[in-house]
Structure 1
């Protein structure tokens, strides 16, 4: 699979509009934009995202002013994920977002692309070659206790990284070792494993964010494994501390059973068929931006 190296700043067909690969300092502005829109990025999200693929984050500038953003992160040689599609409200409907996407698209080469579309944008995404796969639902609320958090649940340690990476590959469309290496042990993240007879049967991550705690990924062999991990992740939260998670629609019952309610939904789309794997074991994805 190929990746086209993107110059630091390149012109577009729009007068005065250029696109560049963002530095971490520049991308901090995008995190601010996103959180003003209510996206509730975790405090360590940006550091983990950029470490996964430093060349996959793009800012569109009108003169010296950043007005558009998109990320296209290459997880490996075969799979990439669109995210962070944002345009400054005062500059929307002028083509700046599309121009930024056209530059970013080259970065992924011929990899399979994934993206999450708001329901009203599905037709536009379809015109760009993406095919609808399923809905992903955002659930929020005060978590209801579930199961026995102590039974077979242990805190994550780096010695488990390879095992978690291999386990995750069974339910994710492709491998994402770089992402997991940063995500599992990021500052503020609480990661737990479910281990049965010495075998990994699930893992989950809780992270702090401005509006409420976020859970994801949460992947488990069985509902009981998922319950035990959910209990471990939420034990210790205050009585008024909410959580949120993005759940594939088919697993929405799990979030509802934990006392959470649907807030909104997006549509997961791909440019080509992806392996289903053990999708039924995904109780929460890591993030919309990186899957």
Structure 2
């Protein structure tokens, strides 16, 4: 048994974050090979954990979005060190550290797996809505002519749209996420107006869509079809907030199968977001 009191919270370097994402892969969380690069660029001061004799044994993210909003994710204790109270100590230290990184009264979000939700609630988080992951095979299909690839000239417009759906400015994240290797980014536009956008990227198994934001069900469906068409014959995953009935109808219509679920939880006042436009959340790791 480890002496829990001897464990001190330490900031992870980039290789530590890479190791953490590697553990996430082993846990079946299905990250992409290049996810950690975007995560690091978003907030290089946002990853902490415990080391034992210079070996990382547990860690997690404590992301600050310009002090306005925080997000906790990537919470993993190495399997051979579980059951000793390490995770509990790490989680509370991370929560308190993140509170200190944020402006007074700023909220913190996270996506909690079902088994851990009671623990997170004891730590001050409240469930806002459930997220369910769905899978189906990609296939070629006709899509609307209003769908096109996202270009660098679209960034400022997309940033405004993202702000509506995420609730806070995440420019550093989004500019790198839209360009992540082995991905495609689509927008639905009418004239100069963007009415929705989606990103699909290669992950360990298949492809994952996130985000999928749209003005209405019809636009969301066209973006979903564009993503499915870009990953012909490959498993495609979409994480939907079940409070959006249109997102539920979408996965049902395309006969996607349920994989598992989490819950979006908040510490403090939840952000004001356009849930009716969120058909697929971006990530469970950074929000």
TM-score by length of 2: 0.91
Quick check: 2:138–2:232 contact (8 Å CA) kept in 1?
Answer: no
Query: In structure 1, which of residues 106, 117, 132 is the aligned counterpart of residue 127 of structure 2?
Result: 132
Change (3 A) 1:188 1:108: farther
Residue 41 of structure 1: how far off its partner (Å) = 0.2
Distance in 1 (alpha carbons) for counterparts of 2:66 and 2:241: 23
Correspondence for 1:162: 156
Deviation of residue 271 (structure 1)?
A: 1.0
The one of 45, 60, 68 equivalent to 2:50 is 60
- Give distance in 2, aligned partners of 1:272 and 1:15: 29
1:93 Cα offset (Å)? 2.1
- The counterpart of 1:264, out of the listed 256, 260, 263, is 260
Counterpart-to-counterpart distance in 2, 1:74 and 1:199: 30
Deviation at 1:175, TM superposition (A): 2.0
Q: CA deviation at 1:141?
A: 1.9
Listed as ranges, the matches of 1:226-245 within 5 Å are 226-239=220-233, 241-245=234-238
Shift of 1:59: 2.3
* Stretch moving more, 75-84 or 212-221: 75-84
Structure 1 runs of 4+ off > 3 angstroms?
A: 143-146
Q: Would the aligned equivalents of 2:210 and 2:283 in 1 still touch at CA under 8 Å?
A: yes
Q: Measured at CA, do residues 100 and 200 of structure 1 come closer, stay the same or move farther in structure 2, by a change above 3 Å?
A: same
Report how far residue 101 of structure 1 moved: 2.7
SS at match of 1:174: coil
For 2:230 and 2:236, the matched residues in 1 are separated by: 12
Partner of 1:70: 60
Residue in 1 aligned with 2:98? 107
Question: What does the per-residue CA deviation read over 1:151-174, in whole Å, with 9 as the maximum and x for residues that have no partner?
Answer: 211111111111101011112132
Superposed CA deviations along residues 199-250 of structure 1, whole A, max 9, x for unmatched, are 00000000001111000100000111112211222224233x1101111012
Distance 1:161 1:108, change over 3 A: farther
The Cα of 1:145 is off from its aligned counterpart by 6.4
- Aligned pair count reads 277
Unmatched runs of 5 consecutive residues or more in structure 1? 1-12
Are positions 1:205 and 2:199 aligned together? yes
Q: Offset at 1:281?
A: 1.1
Q: Which residue of the partner structure matches residue 23 of structure 1?
A: 13
Q: Which moved more, 1:123-132 or 1:96-105?
A: 96-105
Q: Deviations over 1:174-219 (max 9, x none)?
A: 2211110110112222101111121000000000011110001000
